[in-house]
């Protein structure tokens, strides 16, 4: 097959069903009688593995999706923090395909940026990255509100939210069909009646609306290769996977939303891959692992004597912090590294390999905390509950196995995670740099 033939005759859609558990998909297809999910679990399927362990800091979605996108294992690309990018040495698949004349469209991917992909007709990053522009800029209305809520969901009601909400509402009417707006509203109202105004309900609404807008962009720009990232199941499994043998109401709700999105994807005549990157394992039988998050990162930093020039909160318990001088950076590193609670370290603190005045900070304490418990910074006590909030007691954790369902067999029955990239390139008769490097050995 020549590149020209691939350009004119073949299209491929990759749905990134982040961290979805295969057994839960099968359970939902049976218990809920969902047609698209039932079709999915009967498709040809490849099993994926990663050599990265839970303890490696690379068994994270922002690391594993970068592996898939670049065709390199995490031990090569070294991306292990949300919001970071692979170096230009490791181009993402949309850059590789663009260089070979293949048009692309990318929606919601983790730790991604357009890079040198001149033929990438639309690009939306995930809500936790920063300094990545949306392409075209007119689609920013579909992600700006989600970005604000993702980074400020403990204190969302800031003055700018009204403007973002109005802009998002206009974007919905511009990018969704009337029937899709009705369906999205139904998803929101059903969730609101069952679970109240929770992150789950907002996430389900955003995910469905985002998928509809993606389908419209795909129809408008007609890319030969496109990606849609979906995070709803990962969130629900982490928070609401209470029983391995039955679905919680929250899981049932989420699977219905995913089924509606899959229905739209299966309408395309193009080849479709549905990959999870890696999976989750239920943790109900394990000791409690509790996720905490600062009420407000800037307030916390100032309270403990740290004055950054900029803070970018990430998904839950981590953030990037910038400083104006080397001295301020070093003093902050020392203070944060000194922080303890119950004789355990409170933070993981890592210097940035590229920006010397930036620190990555993650709250790594996950034990139960008694009322009135204090943490200590440079031996000075602070009330934990004054600065931190309990988010969830985790019900699912990451494991190294994954899957790729396919509308037609394109991948072998078993492969390493990052090798998904190779088979997508092969579909378009393109060799990526990782393959060329291997051939040169």
Model confidence at 314: pLDDT above 90: no
Mean pLDDT computed over 32-52: 96
Chain segment 240-282, per-residue pLDDT in tens: 999 988 999 999 999 999 999 999 999 999 999 999 999 999 9
Mean pLDDT computed over 391-407: 95
Model confidence at 155: pLDDT above 80: no
Please tell me which residue, 161 or 433, carries the higher pLDDT value. Answer: 161
Closest C-alpha to 356, from 380, 327, 335, 399: 327
Model confidence at 352: pLDDT above 70: yes
Write 129-137 long-range contacts (CB < 8 A, 24+). Answer: 129/83, 130/83, 130/312, 130/320
Model confidence at 139: pLDDT above 60: yes
What is the pLDDT at residue 245? 87
Please tell me which residue, 9 or 414, carries the higher pLDDT value. Answer: 414
Write 36-40 long-range contacts (CB < 8 A, 24+). Answer: 36/259, 36/260, 36/262, 36/263, 36/266, 37/255, 37/258, 37/259, 37/262, 39/262, 39/266, 40/262, 40/274, 40/405
What is the pLDDT at residue 6? 40
What is the pLDDT at residue 1? 35
Model confidence at 156: pLDDT above 70: no
Model confidence at 440: pLDDT above 60: no
What is the pLDDT at residue 347? 97
Can you name the CATH fold of 3-284+397-440? Alkaline Phosphatase, subunit A (3.40.720)
pLDDT band at 9 (very low <50, low <70, confident <90, very high): low
What is the pLDDT at residue 2? 36
Between 249-265 and 178-195, two packed helices, what is the crossing angle to 10 degrees? 170
What is the pLDDT at residue 3? 38
Model confidence at 7: pLDDT above 50: no
Distance CA 277, CA 271 (A): 18
Chain segment 372-391, per-residue pLDDT in tens: 999 999 999 999 999 999 99
What's the pTM? 0.92
| Average pLDDT over all residues of the chain | 92
Mean pLDDT computed over 45-74: 93
Q: Spell out the residues 6+ positions from residue 4 whose beta carbon is closer than 8 angstroms to its own.
A: none
């Amino acid at each position: 097959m020549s590149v020209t033939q691939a350009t004119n005759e073949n299209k491929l859609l990759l749905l990134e069903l982040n961290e979805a558990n295969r057994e839960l998909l099968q359970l939902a297809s049976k218990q809920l009688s969902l047609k698209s999910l039932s079709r999915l679990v009967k498709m040809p399927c490849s099993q994926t593995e990663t050599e990265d362990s839970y303890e490696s800091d690379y068994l994270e979605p922002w690391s594993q999706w970068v592996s898939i996108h670049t065709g390199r294992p995490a031990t090569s690309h070294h991306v292990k923090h949300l919001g970071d990018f692979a170096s230009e040495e490791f181009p993402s698949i949309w850059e590789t395909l663009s260089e070979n004349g293949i048009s692309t469209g990318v929606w919601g991917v983790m730790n991604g940026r357009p890079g040198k992909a001149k033929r990438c007709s639309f690009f939306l990053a995930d809500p936790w990255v920063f300094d990545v522009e949306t392409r075209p800029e007119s689609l920013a209305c579909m992600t700006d509100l989600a970005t604000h809520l993702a980074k400020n969901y403990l204190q969302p009601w800031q003055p700018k939210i009204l403007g973002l909400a109005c802009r998002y509402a206009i974007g919905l009417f511009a990018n969704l069909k009337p029937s899709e707006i009705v369906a999205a509203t139904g998803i929101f109202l059903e969730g609101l009646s069952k679970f109240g105004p929770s992150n789950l309900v907002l996430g389900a609404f955003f995910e469905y609306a985002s998928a509809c807008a993606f389908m419209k962009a795909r129809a408008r720009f007609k890319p030969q290769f496109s990606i849609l990232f979906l995070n709803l199941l990962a969130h629900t499994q982490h928070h609401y996977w209470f029983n391995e043998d039955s679905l919680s109401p929250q899981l049932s709700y989420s699977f219905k939303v995913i089924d509606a999105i899959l229905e739209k994807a299966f309408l395309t005549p193009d080849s479709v891959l549905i990959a999870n990157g890696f999976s989750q394992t239920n943790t109900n039988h394990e000791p409690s692992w509790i996720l905490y998050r600062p009420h407000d990162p800037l307030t916390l930093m100032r309270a403990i004597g740290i004055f950054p020039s900029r803070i970018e909160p990430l998904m839950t318990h981590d953030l990037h912090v910038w400083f104006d001088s080397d001295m301020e950076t070093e003093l902050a590193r020392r203070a944060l590294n000194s922080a303890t609670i119950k004789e355990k370290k409170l933070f993981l603190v890592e210097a940035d390999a590229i920006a010397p005045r930036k620190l990555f900070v993650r709250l790594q304490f996950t034990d139960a905390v008694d009322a009135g418990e204090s943490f200590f910074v440079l031996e000075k006590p602070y009330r934990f509950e004054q600065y931190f909030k309990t988010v969830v007691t985790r019900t699912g954790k990451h494991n190294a196995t994954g899957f790729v369902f396919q509308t037609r067999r394109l991948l072998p029955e078993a492969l390493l995670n990052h090798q998904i990239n190779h088979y997508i390139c092969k579909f378009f008769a393109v060799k990526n740099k990782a393959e060329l490097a291997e051939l040169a050995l």
